[in-house]
Amino acid sequence: MNAKQLSIAVLLLVALAAESLAGVDLVTIPRREGTQLTIYNSEDITMVREHRLLTVKPGINRIQFTWANTLIDPTSIDFRILDHADQVDLIDTTFPAGRNDALQWNIRSRMAGKIPVEIRYFTSGITWKADYVGIANQDETALRLTGYVRVHNNSGELYDNAQTRMVVGTINLVEKIADLAKRPPPGVKYPEAPADARPAMRKAMEEKALQYDRLRRSGKLDAGGLALDKPKEVKKQGLSEYFLFTIAGREDIKDKEPKRLVALKVAEVPLECFYKLSDRDGGKQFTKYYRFKNKKLLDAEGKEKKLPAMENLGLSPLPDGMVRLFSEYKNKDLAYVGGTQTKYVPIGDRVEVNVGRDSDITLVRRLKDQRITNVVARQYKRRLDNKYVLYYDLIDYDETFYYEEEIVSGKPVVAKTELERRFDAKVVLWADDAAPEDWNSNKAGAYVDLHQVPGRKERVDQNHVKYFLDLQPGEKQFVTYSVTYKRRKVGPEINTHKRREPL
Amino acid sequence: MKTRIAIAAAALVIATAATAYARIKLTTLPERETVRIDIRNGRYTLVEEERTVNLQQGRNQVDFSWANISIDKDSIVFRIIKADGEVNVLNTNYPPNENALYWAVSAAKAGPAVIRISYLIGNMAAGPSYQGVVENDEKKLLMQVYMTVTNTSGESFGRCTVQPGVGKTTGRYFNIGERKRMLAAKFAEVPIEKRYVFDAAIDQKRTRMYYRLVNDKDNSMGRFPLPHGKVRLFIKEPETSENDEVRSQAFLGEDWARYTPLFAPLDLYVGVAQDVKAERFTMQPEKGPKAVHDELTCPRFTLDGKQSVTKPRFRHHRTRFRYRLQNFKTDNGEPITVPLSIKEHVDGEWIIEKVVLKELEGERNKLVEKVIPHAEMFTAKRIDTGNIEFEVKLPPTTIEKKYDLFVTILRKWRRY
């Protein structure tokens, strides 16, 4: 931490008298014994813990702490006496008038000597992210997965020789730390931006963009990572609803210098490949997904492999992050398959990675036929100009669509597919051999007849139906199904002229 | 620090002069002996100060003036606490266009008298905040209530006793513009109930984790109603933590604690429970579209005395929800059962018509659904007409095994 900006001073007072609080001299500046950073990824918050040894004398001791030009939340600063708690008490914490970047702790001591204390506070500007690189084998049956954690420090501070921990999980934060850090003290207004601030800001942003562009062109953009002799271990530990990743040893977390470390390196993760098509995203093309389980790896006999924690899955959740997937040919050449953002994956759950559109499996959906039946015009009468007239507006009719889907697999292996269709009314599904009880109901709805489709059919919700097909290499399958929309009490959809006749 | 509030006492030389505005100005400044600041009211801050003034026998004038401080003039109370002989306050006078007043005081004997002046001031307030340190097993916590008193009143009080609203009264030094954060109360070993709550009205996809505390004596609290303030929660890490002289703590999350009267529960939203997954789907009622509404009939009496049957503009409306439930929560590496509360929001007259719990095993074409008894796993709790809570004891699940809970709610007598 930059000692210029964050400083602590002990002011000793021997007497208890009130008057003696004023005008005392600075005695010592205690050295920082250790720093620990706990960085959260769901919010812009980092918990910093510092251990220091304070020299106290009997009586009232006043300790001053300042943090000018940092992003520290003043309301979060906490002071703990770690030893001799029975002889040393914290009386209160005082913020001087008109300042939000300094405080003093008033301590009453009944002893003289050194006491270990902990100063804890929240700061903003340090974040961490996870990202993954997966290399699938040529058959897409196994994946070599490497997980990284990357720490970004934009706080303006250097945290040297700090124990670094990262929290996986989503905490609830009711106020942003950055806002709290910038909040002026009570009675002081927010500083107004100068009138000409906007052009200056624009210029600064343009300069930043140019700088980024220069870096990108020179290829130095990713050179922020630290070259390590051997990867450091990342220890993982459950804590309430979260997981704590602790980087072994100490790290220097430098300002504006991202640091990327390997958190996981697993070889031979069993991989499953399947293809989804859904009306939620157009319903015309298949999307390829890789699936693997966040479970301990098994050997050929089905027993759990004994692997170091860094080389196994299922010991900690996988934090959300960017996944970049490659496919490796036998000659070790790589092909980029795709990249996507994954969600948090609990222990034992499955990772589903969207690899991107796949054009090897094609689908053609044809509307083979359609017909309207059971048209019933429902009359109702209404008085109009002293005459009763009959309206034909309310129409009941059944409209049936017959679909054929031609699905062709160009894959050299069995392709597992999932097709999800949406229907614009509440679905009554005929999935099994026998028609459902309500099949001949006269109520409005989408009556979907999928009973001739092979495999299992599943009703997802009121409007969505899913079916599963396994396609052999080079196989072409035809799937036929129908949907009857029973329209009831339809308004002027058919009787657009509102034909009426006297009663 | 320059004193802003001044008090002066002097004997009246001219007893009843017509020029009463021409007050006798300060001659001596009696020091404040004690100052008490009471911020319990929440809206107003009461300051009480005691001073000793030397009274002359007969009529005296005690002057009180202030500058750069917002004092409610009408709130000023003047009392004689201790005097040698009888002392009467005759009247209070308010000079125009001045932040000042003076009391006409009659003393039977000359000598010192202790007076107490109480008044309400502005720009001095106290705000509570809480810090909870949760045990590693999440069964108990240490709750510390802090009060931060901000003195932007424009007055330096020096040493004073402060009652910050809750908790104990303490002696402090209060200078102008200062803020002080003080420990007001400490509740050790407060039992906490950990709750997993899924409420699709708040979050469609995620389950939230709450801590529930009860503000009563049985739960190691209950000393006073808890004021509204921010709670920051920390958890003690396992004792095996390295490089720590004392047990390390991690930040769990924060939430606003609402005003909590005695005996009332306090729910604190800590963070997202990502290992307990719930998803809600709206489904067709079990018997298809015709079961969406129950058509109702009622007797109709006509003027000619005949009775028939008619369909009123009411019907019962049926809604069926499916909850896909998965629990990947572990404790020391072992899968555990968790209590999950599912909230639903309804209105008017309603009943829970049917509950079906299905266990799903396998995947894709090999998936097998099995209806299992739900009596031990599921209870429905009617909170009020607007809210239901389904309490589910959710056993561990895997990728191959999960649960689908179907609940049919019949909302009755809906107008259409």
Predicted complex ipTM: 0.79
Residue A6: predicted pLDDT: 55
pLDDT in tens, A252-276: 888 888 888 888 899 889 999 999 9
Mean pLDDT of B372-392: 94
- Binning pLDDT at 50, 70 and 90, where does residue A332 land? confident
Residue B168: predicted pLDDT: 79
Domain boundary among B250, B273, B296: B273
pLDDT at A131 over 70: yes
Cβ distance A172 to B254 less than 8 Å, yes or no, reads: yes
Q: For residues B177 and B265, state if they share a domain.
A: yes
Cβ distance B328 to A349 less than 8 Å, yes or no, reads: yes
Mean pLDDT of B167-181: 83
Q: For residues B307 and B340, state if they share a domain.
A: yes
Cβ distance B177 to A468 less than 8 Å, yes or no, reads: no
Residue B40: predicted pLDDT: 84
Mean pLDDT of B248-261: 93
Mean pLDDT of B309-320: 90
Whether B207 is in a domain gets the answer no
Cβ distance B284 to A36 less than 8 Å, yes or no, reads: no
Residue A182: predicted pLDDT: 84
Whether B268 is in a domain gets the answer yes
pLDDT in tens, B38-50: 988 877 899 999 9
List the one residue out of A262, A269, A345, A352 whose CA is nearest residue A305.
A269
Domains in chain A with CATH codes: 6-34+49-123 (2.60.220), 268-359 (no CATH), 362-502 (no CATH)
Is pLDDT larger for residue A313 or for residue A25?
A313
pLDDT in tens, A164-178: 899 998 999 999 988
Q: Which residue has tokens 């004392």? A: B246
Residue A214: predicted pLDDT: 67
Cβ distance B275 to A241 less than 8 Å, yes or no, reads: yes
Residue B16: predicted pLDDT: 37
Task: Classify residue B96 by its DSSP letter.
Answer: T
Q: Pick the residue from chain A with its C-alpha nearest to B184.
A: A92
- Binning pLDDT at 50, 70 and 90, where does residue A26 land? very low
pLDDT at B352 over 60: yes
| Average pLDDT over chain A, rounded to an integer | 82
Mean pLDDT of B135-162: 90
pLDDT at A231 over 70: no
Cβ distance B235 to A240 less than 8 Å, yes or no, reads: yes
Supply B322's token pair. 């499916």
CATH code of the domain in which B282 resides: 2.60.40
Min distance B143 CA to chain A CA atoms (Å) = 15
Q: For residues B395 and B285, state if they share a domain.
A: yes
Is pLDDT larger for residue A19 or for residue A304?
A304
Cβ distance A445 to B159 less than 8 Å, yes or no, reads: no
Whether B203 is in a domain gets the answer no
pLDDT at B244 over 70: no
Structural domain count, chain B = 3
CB contacts under 8 A, B 268-307 vs A, are 269-275, 277, 281-284, 287-292
A315-353: burial string, b at 16+ Cβ within 10 Å, e else: bbbbbbbebbbbbeeeeeeeeebbbeebebbbbbbbbbb
Among the partner residues B181, B272, B322, nearest to A241 by beta-carbon distance:
B272
B197-214: burial string, b at 16+ Cβ within 10 Å, e else: bbbbeeeeebbbbbbebb
Among the partner residues A92, A239, A293, nearest to B250 by beta-carbon distance:
A239
Name the pTM for this structure.
Answer: 0.80
Whether B210 is in a domain gets the answer no
User: Residue B249: which domain range?
Assistant: 124-192+216-273
pLDDT at A482 over 80: yes
Contacts of B398-403 with C-beta under 8 Å, sequence gap 24+, read B398/A348, B399/A293, B399/A348, B399/A349, B399/A350, B399/B363, B400/B361, B400/B362, B400/B363, B401/B359, B401/B360, B401/B361, B402/B324, B402/B325, B402/B326, B402/B359, B402/B360, B403/B324, B403/B325, B403/B326, B403/B357, B403/B358, B403/B359, B403/B360
In this structure, the number of other CB atoms found within 10 A of the CB of residue A488 comes to 17
Is pLDDT larger for residue A211 or for residue B262?
B262
Least confident of A57-61, A273-277, B10-14, B132-136: B10-14
- Binning pLDDT at 50, 70 and 90, where does residue A153 land? confident
Among the partner residues A34, A173, A428, nearest to B284 by beta-carbon distance:
A428
Q: For residues B160 and B268, state if they share a domain.
A: yes
Q: Pick the residue from chain A with its C-alpha nearest to B181.
A: A93
Whether B202 is in a domain gets the answer no
Q: Which residue has tokens 């389980």? A: A293
Among the partner residues B179, B237, B282, nearest to A462 by beta-carbon distance:
B282
Q: What is the 3-state secondary structure (H, E, C) of B215-248?
A: CCHHHCCCCCCECCEEEEEEEECCCCCCCCCCCC
Residue A3: predicted pLDDT: 41
pLDDT at B206 over 90: yes
pLDDT at A186 over 60: yes
Q: For residues B222 and B264, state if they share a domain.
A: yes
Mean pLDDT of B298-316: 87
Least confident of A322-326, A378-382, B271-275, B278-282: A378-382
pLDDT in tens, A340-363: 888 899 999 988 888 888 888 999
Residue A198: predicted pLDDT: 62
Instruction: Tell which of A35, A179, A241 to mutate to test the B interface (max B CBs under 10 Å).
Output: A241
Whether B200 is in a domain gets the answer no
- Binning pLDDT at 50, 70 and 90, where does residue A217 land? low
Q: For residues B117 and B128, state if they share a domain.
A: no
Distance CA B65, CA B60 (A): 16
Distance CA B175, CA A212 (A): 50
Residue B329: predicted pLDDT: 92
